[in-house]
Amino acid sequence: MEYNQIICGDCLEVMKGIPDKSVDLIVTDPPYGINIIGGSKSFGSIGGSKSFGSIGGSKLVNVNKYKPIINDDIKIDFSEIFRVSKNQIIFGGNYFNLPISKGWIVWDKKKKNDWNDNFSDGEMAWTSFNRPLKIFRYLYMGCLQEGKREKRVHPTQKPIELIKWILENYSNKNDIILDPFLGSGTTAVACKELGRKYIGIEISPEYCEIARNRIKAIPELLF
């Protein structure tokens, strides 16, 4: 199995060619909580911004013309995800019918009570790990970002520091990490920075190109 690559395609079809339990960890953010129908409709509005407008001042890529991954009932077939991987971390796990887990991750966005109520206070990630719930606190709310400012090009783009924290705490160097809903490539970028092997699958050619360019900008590790 080749790694350190981004594959443009339908993740359910691509994963059929990945051997059982050959991936150490899946870290992914499936579409949830927003309307992705395809055809004549689009993401709807996020934080008061119109479809594919701006979030935090960054222009979003229009992927409305691409094949939808999810229907209105937010149903995703996770069978291939569990087959190919030893462990899984799935953002939005509270939206899906996943097995009981005590190892949840909570991303606290450090939202203040007087901020726009269109934004949630945080997000939850289901994990397959049998360990206590963990909280990661990091400000990433619209135009307000903690640490080095990141350009946002995807409506549900996660901060690089969040994914790096997950990789540092739930994986080891040289592990193979798969993200079947790669989006703008944050998981792959974090893997390259931390010395993990990555496989990214993304259905949108535009986002694949964005992800590849982000990865090219990361220097190669010298150790």
Q: What is the pLDDT of residues 40-99, one digit of tens each?
A: 233 322 222 333 333 333 344 444 433 333 434 446 789 999 999 999 999 999 888 899
Asked whether the whole model's pTM tops 0.95, one would answer: no
User: Residue 27: what pLDDT?
Assistant: 98
Name which residue leads in pLDDT, 109 or 18: 18
The mean pLDDT value for 102-126 works out to 81
Domains of the chain: 5-216 (3.40.50.150)
Q: What is the pLDDT of residues 83-113, one digit of tens each?
A: 999 999 999 998 888 999 999 999 998 766 6
Residues 6+ apart with CB under 8 A from 207: 61, 63, 154, 182, 183, 184, 185
